[in-house]
Copies of this chain bind each other. A is one copy, B any other.
Amino acid sequence: MDELKVFTGNANPGLARAICDYLNIPLGKCEVFSFSNENIFVRIMENVRQRDVFVAQPICSPVNQSLVELLIMLDALKRASAGRITAVVPYYGYGRTDKKDQPRVPITARLIADLLTVAGANRLLTVDLHAGQIQGFFNIPVDELTAQYLLRDYFLKKGLNSDLVVVATDIGISKRARDLATQLHVPLAIMEKRRLGNEDRTETLNVIGEVNKKVALTVDDEIDTAGSLTNTVNTLLERGVREVYACCTHPVFSGPAIQRIAASPVQEVVVTDTIPVNGSKRLDKITVLSIAPLLGEAIHRIHTGQSVGAMFEQ
């Protein structure tokens, strides 16, 4: 496999540049822009024949634009005779629509897998999928990295451990929370949303497990509107928690998220830069850890045929 090249669309060019810095190569030259009629156009500005090409583009806001940009870039690279094309999708959007839990709904996370493949991706490199099963939506090789060790190390350094309890903000995230709790050697609690009765429309938030007088660290794969997060924080404080830290891999931060976080008594929200956190989103209490070295190292290993799994052997 020849020379390594990394290209980016418009979804998170800063991350792509940081990856290239790690790899010590220049970012691949290409134009990715929209015409007046909103049609995205792509032109790869350097020869990619037989090259080992990586396209870094999370499927984040503007979500559908980012997705279609990525698909068109894959098509252009495929037709330009790239040797191997790896879609580097640090945030796999639509990941929450990964099963049919009611009649006649899509499984969009599988659809995305098929779209990426048909457009030309030969491999996927991604970070903390909403569900591990999404790997099985692909028949091309998938390398899934995790930000868990990054987050763990951050909190270990912070020295909160003695009184800490890891809290899953939802039943659905309890397995991932357990993994972090295990890593930190602290106990686990789980938030459970429940309607009280058949007629009652209001939901209560139960805390399953011991939290009183502890320091809580909530964990989730992503923070979207921050609604669950702020409800969790409030409930935990009511139950006697001393202070609450939050962490997640993907800072989606849509709609009222930033306002809610600003207003919430949460101590700190720690995220990574799989999705850019720019401008007015950069609150003091939001800490952004860079995922670029992890992605850069994985790309280096994929390119040179070294084990990616070995990066996470503890």
The answer for the CA separation of A307 and B47 in the assembled complex, in Å, is 6
Checking B73, B110, B190 against A174 with a beta-carbon cut-off of 8 angstroms, the contacting residue is B190
- Band of interface residues on A: 35 or more
For A41, give the chain B residue with the smallest CB separation. B97
A305 near B64 with CB under 8 A, answer: no
The answer for the CA separation of A114 and B302 in the assembled complex, in Å, is 26
Q: Decide yes or no whether A76 CB sits under 8 A from chain B.
A: yes
Which residues of B sit under 8 angstroms from A103, Cβ to Cβ? Answer: 44, 80, 307-310
A100 near B39 with CB under 8 A, answer: no
Which residues of B sit under 8 angstroms from A268, Cβ to Cβ? Answer: none
A80-115 interface (Cβ within 8 A of B):
80-81, 83, 93-94, 96-111, 114-115
Question: A40 to nearest B CB, angstroms?
Answer: 7
The answer for the CA separation of A99 and B142 in the assembled complex, in Å, is 11
For A72, give the chain B residue with the smallest CB separation. B106
A79 near B100 with CB under 8 A, answer: yes
Q: Decide yes or no whether A231 CB sits under 8 A from chain B.
A: no
For the complex of A and B, 7 pairs with smallest distance between CB atoms: A103-B309, A99-B132, A133-B133, A44-B104, A36-B255, A110-B136, A50-B305
Chain A interface (Cβ within 8 Å of chain B)? Answer: 1-2, 35-45, 47-51, 61-65, 67-68, 71-73, 75-81, 83, 93-94, 96-111, 114-115, 118-119, 123, 131-137, 139, 141-144, 171-172, 174-175, 178, 181-182, 185, 187-190, 192, 194-195, 197-198, 206, 208-209, 224-225, 252, 254-256, 301-302, 305-310
Supply 12 A–B pairs (Cβ within 8 Å), ascending by A: A40-B108, A42-B106, A48-B104, A75-B106, A76-B104, A79-B105, A99-B131, A115-B115, A131-B131, A172-B175, A178-B192, A188-B208
